[in-house]
Amino acid sequence: QVQLQESGPGLVKPSETLSLTCTVSGGSVSSGTYYWSWIRQPPGKGLEWIGYIYYRGSTKYNPSLKSRVTISVDTSKNQFSLKLTSVTAADTAAYYCARDNLDAATGFDYWGQGTLVTVSS
Amino acid sequence: QSVLTQPPSASGTPGQRVTISCSGSSSNIGNNYVYWYHQLPGTAPKLLIYRNNQRPSGVPDRFSGSKSGTSASLAISGLRSEDEADYYCAAWDDSLSGRVFGGGTKLTVL
């Protein structure tokens, strides 16, 4: 059974960089089948796709966040990570990592439990 | 403002059939598959429908999806109290070159 687990600080100061890691177990980020994604959800609001990374390192980002986002992968640790720079209160959200099978079009079939990140001084 | 448009709320009584709509455009729903997710309070979303109308293993056949043109629908028959959740549609958007979601529909079982 594939499992994803987010980790990182729950509190980030305005203008600083938000950094989260997703650890994958029961599957490999090196699999050529999947795109490893980040999705966020502000409190009481809907879902927003942040971006994905393919194991070879190619990435795709939401245009609205592209200038501030970097997603990277560490195949040796079976992890992928999110960095979001220059955060503001608007970046306060639950952040989820998820597995996406774009080619087979089976959607986000596995999700992490999510981690709440609050941007506040 | 979400790229895909859903009604903010829907409701039904136990045993009823309810439908939730999702409206998009030719750059997303019109040219790509639609997915549906449901989310119980305080939990991560869960895949309900993929490729417009396919159910992952374990999802009851009470849940069905359909697509026509630039719109899609999720139907839930034999409504149960445990179906009370938020429901989101999603698709790939060719113009944005990324995944897009609807704003979500809160389903209340009366």
Average of pLDDT values for A16-20?
A: 98
Give the total residue count for chain A: 121
> Is the model's pLDDT at A22 over the cut of 90?
yes
- pLDDT tens-place string over residues B51-108: 999 999 999 999 999 999 999 999 999 999 999 999 999 999 999 999 999 999 999 9
- Residues A107, B96: C-beta atoms closer than 8 Å: no
**What average pLDDT does chain B have?**
96
Report in angstroms the alpha-carbon separations of A107 from A95, B55, B73. Answer: 18, 11, 17
Q: What is the pLDDT of residue A32?
A: 81
> Is the model's pLDDT at A6 over the cut of 90?
yes
Q: What is the pLDDT of residue A88?
A: 98
Q: Which residues contact B83 (CB under 8 A, 6 or more apart)?
A: B38, B76, B107, B109
Which residue among B44, B45, B50 places its CB closest to the CB of A106? Answer: B50
Q: What is the pLDDT of residue A105?
A: 86
Q: What is the pLDDT of residue B67?
A: 98
Interatomic CA distance for residues B95 and A65, integer angstroms: 16
Stretch 38-97 of chain A: residues touching chain B, C-beta under 8 Å: 46-49, 51, 60-63, 96
- Residues B51, A106: C-beta atoms closer than 8 Å: yes
Q: What is the pLDDT of residue A102?
A: 79
Q: What is the pLDDT of residue A57?
A: 84
Looking at beta carbons, which residues of chain A come within 8 Å of B92? 102
Q: And the tokens for A13?
A: 């100061």
Cβ of residue A109 closer than 8 Å to a chain B Cβ: yes
3-class state of residue B83 by DSSP: helix
- pLDDT tens-place string over residues B24-57: 999 999 999 999 999 999 999 999 999 999 999 9
- pLDDT tens-place string over residues A44-98: 999 999 999 988 889 999 999 999 999 999 999 999 999 999 999 999 999 999 9
Average of pLDDT values for B9-15?
A: 97
Which residue among B56, B88, B97 places its CB closest to the CB of A46? Answer: B88
